[in-house]
Amino acid sequence: MKIAVLGSGYVGLTTGACLAETGNDVICTDIRRDRIDALRNGEIPFFEPGLQSLVVQNVAEGRLKFTTDVAWAVRESYIIFITVGTPTDEDDSADLRHVIAAAGDVGRAMDGERIVITKSTVPVGTARLVREAIEAETEHAVRVCSNPEFLKEGAALSDFRKPDRVVLGVDDEGAAEVLRDLYAPFVRTGNEILVMDIASAEITKYAANSMLAARISFMNSIARLCERTGADVDMVRIGVGSDRRIGPTFLFPGVGYGGSCFPKDVKALARNMKRMEVDASMLDAVEAINTRQKRCLLERCVDRFGDDLTGMTFAVWGLAFKPNTDDMREAPSLVTIRGLLDRGARVVAHDPVAMSQARRILGNAIEYRGLNYDALDGADALIIHTEWNPYRRPDFARIRTLLRRPIIFDGRNLYSPVTMSELGFEYYSVGRPPARPREDG
């Protein structure tokens, strides 16, 4: 099939590369010339495991092209995906300006019938606005569909190639058949293609992300209760997750969610519900709890050392909001780091892939180290924000030697409090009693 993808960001590039891999001819567009030039040279503007090699392979084999010429891409294609950004607007709603602008570009370039698919995360009613924007520019027939993405950063290729489900919002059976055929290579193991009305598809993405965010905030509230009562949130998590009606996923407490999806999608859904006069207090609470939880490691540092941290040094392991990505958007690490800096502390950080992004945000306000152990030298404590694999089984004897004091604040519950006590560490985690060094540790 001949496909154009408008927007070569995270969703667009993953979509384009995966569809090209199954034999389609794909043209990815972007308004940024520097991004297109980089992509033509095999340079990916963000970190996603496996994506760079997939892009390079499909470009070399002629199935994937990049251009700033949207009109050419539209004329060369029958299926058009809109994957441009929908950032949070000033009122917390989704900013649809780029989506509507892309739709207008499609309408002006069309020289015949097209199928146009909104894959960006958009509120209910957006497909209608897209149709109106296209039809205002052309007399050619257009079939507008909704096909929300469900890609996890760090696992996007796997999610696209082996989806839990593919959601298609359509009002035209002909378009549904085309899209079933397009996605057929990805559902050979029996995962469902769910065909529904457009409004239902648009709501599904927001509802799914908000449900997952709600589970995280709920468990973080339970973690706070465990800390007040001396309970162990790991035991509670296992007990709750063993209920088949609930299941174990997204029940791990931590320092709160971040990234490009959950924060803005929870806010946008709440805003949309309020506009429709539907009670959104649950989503407001999810967001408020998450905002509070991002401060938990900072609060622990202040509780332990006091509010004036002048002259102290803190090592930070993990800057990205989750492992296997360099995404720093809404990262909890930023809340901790800025709070430490405001109190006079020095911060030395390590992250396997996100330090370039951190430099763009924090500049030289903190120091960066290429090896995780190098960040520890002379630090008063280690703070862990991201559960990267290299942090899971470190050399604890080496950590004790490098730190000025054997103190660890763990925002991801990577280690056993009992083990840390035996190894001689003062150890603070989330939702579990703090560990003190054993006298013989």
Q: Are 220 and 253 in contact (CB under 8 A)?
A: yes
Kindly state the tokens that stand for 83.
């994957």
Active site residue 296: no
Number of Cβ atoms within 10 Å of the Cβ of 358: 23
Question: 227: helix, coil or strand?
Answer: helix
Q: Which two tokens stand for residue 6?
A: 């408008």
Residue 306 has which token pair?
Answer: 């006091």
With DSSP H G I counted as helix, E B as strand and the rest as coil, what are the percentages for the chain, rounded to 5? Answer: 45, 15, 40
Q: Is the distance from CB of 391 to CB of 194 less than 8 angstroms?
A: no
The sign of the CA dihedral 239, 240, 244, 247 is: negative
Q: What's the rounded Cα separation, in Å, for the pair 44 and 35?
A: 8
| Residue that has been written with the tokens 């760079």 in this structure | 52
Torsion angle (degrees, nearest 10) of CA 388, 392, 398, 400: 100
Alpha-carbon distance of 183 to 281, in angstroms, equals 37
* Half-sphere exposure in the Cβ direction for 193 (13 Å, CA): 20
Closest CA to 296 of 188, 204, 383: 383
Catalytic choice (28, 226, 261, 301): 261
Cα–Cα distance measured from residue 366 to residue 345, given in angstroms and rounded to the nearest whole number = 10
Structure tokens, 437: 């060094």
Q: Which residues are catalytic?
A: 261
